[in-house]
Amino acid sequence: MATAPKAKVRSAPRAAKPSTTGDAMRAPPAFRPVQLATLVDAVPAGDRWIHEMKYDGYRALVAVGGGEARAYTRSGLDWSGRFPSILSDARKLKVHSALIDGEAVVLDAEGRSNFQKLQGALKSAPASIDYFAFDLLELDGEDLTSLPLLERKAKLKGILPPKGSHIRYSDHIKGNGEKLLKSFCAAGLEGVVSKLAASRYVGARAGSWVKTKCIKRQEFVIAGWTPSDKSRAFRSLILAIHDGGKLRYAGKVGTGFDTAELSRLMKIMTPLEQKAATVEAPRAEVRGAHWLRPKLVAEIAYTEMTNEGTLRHPSYLGLREDKKPEAVVLETEHHAGELPAPATSTVVISNRDRIIYPESNVTKGQLADHYAAVAEIMLPWIGNRPISLVRCPQGRAKQCFFQKHDAGSFGETVHHIGIVEKDGHEEPYLYIDDADGLMTCVQMGTIEFHGWGARIEDVEKADRLIFDLDPDEGLDFEAVREAAFQFRDILKSMGLEAFPMVTGGKGVHVIAPLTPKAEWPQVKDFAHRLAQAVAQNDPRHFTAALAKARRKGRIFVDYLRNQRGATAVMPYSARTRAGASVAAPISWGEMKTIDSPAHFHIGDALELIRRARSKALMGWGRADQTLPDL
């Protein structure tokens, strides 16, 4: 039986201290994907729903523990330096540790949250920023996301100070949501967020949270500006939106600016000017345009969108620093009466009896049932991430192909993000953010889901490091098991906590989550040099060589997952292998005894759900850490 002895590599400066299960009572919890609300046309009726104020600010997670506190944006960026007063009060909370979800806002003289005032406060008056907390995900080392919402809110209210703090409790009412919306709109507020009172917290768009707005507003990319014939710095901003993975013209905005903001925007825009038109637009509307590289995002209020796709009565509200241009797509309104149950899908699966796995007679319907069951635990990992699909429309034994681009054949539930390729042109990459998107891919013949190591909010910054330990045909699983523990120890010596995932194939992924900070060249270089160091220290058992001829009898340390555009199989994805196996997160304790990397299959959905909610996997794939030097 072949086993690999422990390789020795020199240690490197430690990264930020990771949060482990044993440290959960001390260290601030790590970032985890936030639950998102679906835009609807009316407030849902009935006592099953509670209703909260929709705040006009920045969504943020606040993590506290061991006398420390941190703040994360909805995409996982560390914004602790932006909210010093909020975090100062968070450190005073009488808890061992907590992870709180809420919104950072600035209130105007009438007590309304004001996005433009928040913009100014971030630069010059951070002490004026408050935080309205509306959910509690973790408390004193316990994962609360499986508890009903009202229980989580009761615990949240119990840990917050009654008054005099920058951290405030976001109250709610039960029922009467339409009446609340009317009163909010009359008072000039933004709208209402409605949530199912008994729902779990799902780190994705799950249907159990919906939002109703008093006035339409969302983010748009600034594509350029038109000159003014007066003393103003510019006449209007030219706006664009991603549609089908490409930027299209969305109109202009010429109101909402004061003199200071006009001057500030000009200073920001000037270095971004380019000669080529950023979007195609009617010549008369953009005469004399100064075009910009699409790097800036603005929040815009408007009354409606015309049939031509441009805005009526738009008004500028401010720049968005927490969203990247690539993530800006048009938000579509759903009919409130047609919402599916949380994390479920309305997609109809055709040809359910078609045999997809001929060796075991597993059908398309059984594959779809697996994905429908695991959607709630899979979406936090795969949602809002560029993906590639392995599609096998006639089953795994016939023609299969990778797909990462789409011209619209998947419909509205599968979205597109425009990503610039090496040659400078933009391609529409696929992503999903809810169960309907997941199941549409399955309906279109998808078996496997592979994802980038970054989220759509910033595709240039990695949020994970993956080492794929791929054994040669002659090695048994014991060699892979031993190698996984070696990589865990090597990464730990560098200050990186890592987690194992059986791939459903031959190998194991050792995954080190990252707070998105390092960009792809740095991540790839780190992974490459670490793989080479391991192979050089123990060439009998490891290789980092790409040529298959040089892998004989050894484990290939595949570091190439850690580069821009590369993908890796996602947690809970089925595989195109004879046994209908499934990639699954496991604990290091389970790594000691599990019999095979293909241990789980699509008939194990209920067991996978139970395991995902167990204490053994609490915190799997989450750690507050950045890439160290090597």
Catalytic residue set = 54
Under DSSP, is residue 521 helix (H, G, I), strand (E, B) or coil?
A: helix
Name the amino acid, one letter, at 75: S
Alpha carbons 618 and 143: distance in angstroms, whole number: 7
Please choose, from the candidates 160, 187, 198, the residue with its C-alpha nearest in 3D space to the C-alpha of residue 53.
Answer: 187
Cα–Cα distance measured from residue 526 to residue 387, given in angstroms and rounded to the nearest whole number: 23
263 vs 284: CA distance, rounded Å: 25
Q: How many CA atoms lie within 13 A of 619 on its CB side?
A: 26
Which residues have C-beta within 8 Å of that of residue 432, sequence separation ≥ 6?
379, 382, 383, 387, 413, 414, 415, 438, 440, 441
Which amino acid, 227? P
Report the distance separating Cα 70 and Cα 93, nearest Å.
Answer: 13
Closest CA to 87 of 108, 115, 67: 67
Contact 347, 288 (CB under 8 A): no
For residue 306, the one-letter residue type is T
Locus of tokens 């408007």? 302
Phi, psi of 222 (to 5 degrees): -85, 115
Q: How far apart are CA 257 and CA 253, in angstroms?
A: 10
Q: How many alpha carbons lie under 13 Å from residue 104 in its C-beta half-sphere?
A: 29
What DSSP character marks residue 474? T
Tokens 């299959």 correspond to 601
Query: Distance between the two ends of the chain, CA-based, in angstroms?
Result: 33
